Structure 1
């Protein structure tokens, strides 16, 4: 049977409708990437003027810089501890907020409220809180008799980075808790009632029911938080600007300083491509590993 002209055109109609949006999205995404790749392969002045082709020299300069190696190591530490701490705290918080108790709506609002505040403003508040002379942290500790004098939280290399990790965890909890609450709301309550009838304890219900059913949402929060935290700029830059003695620089703040303070945009472009490659590789490997585990668990015994 021959197909009518209308039937032949119909499948192509949706594609024709979305082609303008696809072209625009492709341009918005591809043009900055092309520009960064172009700059990373050329010698660029501090004002953005292209001087000449340099090949991979910008990448060589970056990898030979001890500041880059230190920033890369701290980025891994920053991402692992902030994401890990966020998930470990957000899971019990979401479990509590999912229970039916008086004032649950207010409690949820209080937990979610910091999410609506600008991250830069949050970092400003925490920088004030950890101020050596009049910050509320030092004042509170001294009034409680826990310290005899002010602690230089952000001026000491051994303390500044752990403080910023703690702040990073606190500001990431609302977003993660929201996703986990959405996952918990999709879990049917009948299975818990059946488990209680069978004599399952609260820990057994969590380990054998809640955690497996919540696992896809946990995987989602881990992936999204890794991408978000890996590129997180305001907390570290506002609180310490990578100091003291460059002890708190991560890749994104190192990139900013390289491009806008030191006037080396070619090397900054190389760092941004390295960050893109690291994030893309992690996302690909993580999704493949989780997909393989899900397939193995779904296979019949």
Structure 2
């Protein structure tokens, strides 16, 4: 008679194998197709020409707009994710407390998440319009401005504004993750800490942060992947202009493929973006493993 444990394992493998193969096909085929495209010369109509090897990648490294977009993407990602965490942690702590109107406060915090990024960006574009935008009108009425300011006409003002909007629309998702983590923390350890005379900062530093770290790690990884590939905010507000000065990788990729017709360069660039995110994920997983080993 066959071993029941092995029989159950074989049955479980047979049940999940189709799903695994489908997932590998869905994920693997686009990667293989993009890799093949990046190694060929491609017409603007998508027809593969001759094999060119790594020439498309070499051309990217010689492209100053690509290098500037890569650096700007790193700044964009670090600033948006870092700013989001700095604001979301205290917000989640406040919303986790029991106070009158907490439900309404949570709804208000979640409102930007209920609206698509494109709609958010369109509203902000109207608000920041230099001629009839609400921001200029409000600042003029308050006496802060003497005349209209074209907020999106230069990278010096446009890019910081886009970072601020990116933080604003990322807060609801991050707060939701952190609230889920806070609601799972045991209350008895906090009561014991209060009885031992621990203050609010001490409880936060020695109890809340260590216990909340897995949820913070999840928020960091998901936000980096999400923000790194975020397209609507910058595209709707400035389309990466003026003169590509607010482009990040994903907006410049769109321009290469659909505005300039350089599908081979766009394929090489999309593969670079995939490898950057893959390298980050592996590196961050390694750091987490090292920190767990150190704690053990």
- The DSSP-based 3-state class of the residue aligned with 2:147 is coil
Q: How many angstroms does 1:115 deviate by?
A: 1.0
Aligned to 1:13: 11
Q: How many angstroms does 1:4 deviate by?
A: 2.5
Q: Which runs of 5+ in 2 are unaligned?
A: none
- The DSSP-based 3-state class of the residue aligned with 1:151 is coil
Residues 115 and 171, structure 1, Cα contact 8 Å, conserved in 2: yes
Aligned to 1:28: 26
Does the alignment pair 1:285 with 2:295? Answer: no
Determine which of 196, 200, 220 is the counterpart of 2:218: 220
Aligned to 1:146: 144
Does the alignment pair 1:72 with 2:70? Answer: yes
Aligned to 1:276: 274
Does the alignment pair 1:85 with 2:83? Answer: yes
Aligned to 2:200: 202
Aligned to 1:119: 117
Give the distance between the partners of 1:273 and 1:251, measured in 2 at CA: 11
Residues 42 and 52, structure 1, Cα contact 8 Å, conserved in 2: yes
Determine which of 179, 182, 199 is the counterpart of 2:180: 182
Q: How many angstroms does 1:290 deviate by?
A: 1.9
Give the distance between the partners of 2:280 and 2:2, measured in 1 at CA: 48
Q: How many angstroms does 1:113 deviate by?
A: 2.0
**Over 4 Å off, 4+ runs:** 5-8
Aligned to 1:133: 131
Aligned to 1:262: 260
Give the distance between the partners of 2:267 and 2:24, measured in 1 at CA: 20
Superposition pairs for residues 235-250 of structure 1, below 5 Å?
Answer: 235-250=233-248
**Cα offsets for 1:79-120 (capped at 9, x unmatched):** 000000000000000000000001111111111121121111
Residues 157 and 245, structure 1, Cα contact 8 Å, conserved in 2: no
Give the distance between the partners of 1:5 and 1:285, measured in 2 at CA: 41
Give the distance between the partners of 1:8 and 1:103, measured in 2 at CA: 55
**Cα offsets for 1:217-257 (capped at 9, x unmatched):** 11111111111100000000110000012110000001110
Q: How many angstroms does 1:6 deviate by?
A: 6.4
Superposition pairs for residues 157-176 of structure 1, below 5 Å?
Answer: 157-176=155-174
Task: Give the alignment's TM-score, normalised by structure 1.
Answer: 0.96
Determine which of 23, 35, 38 is the counterpart of 1:37: 35
Aligned to 2:61: 63
Q: How many angstroms does 1:5 deviate by?
A: 7.3
- The DSSP-based 3-state class of the residue aligned with 1:43 is strand
Give the distance between the partners of 1:144 and 1:291, measured in 2 at CA: 53
Task: Give the alignment's TM-score, normalised by structure 2.
Answer: 0.97
Does the alignment pair 1:155 with 2:153? Answer: yes
Q: How many angstroms does 1:296 deviate by?
A: 0.7
- Over the aligned positions, Cα root-mean-square deviation in angstroms equals 1.2
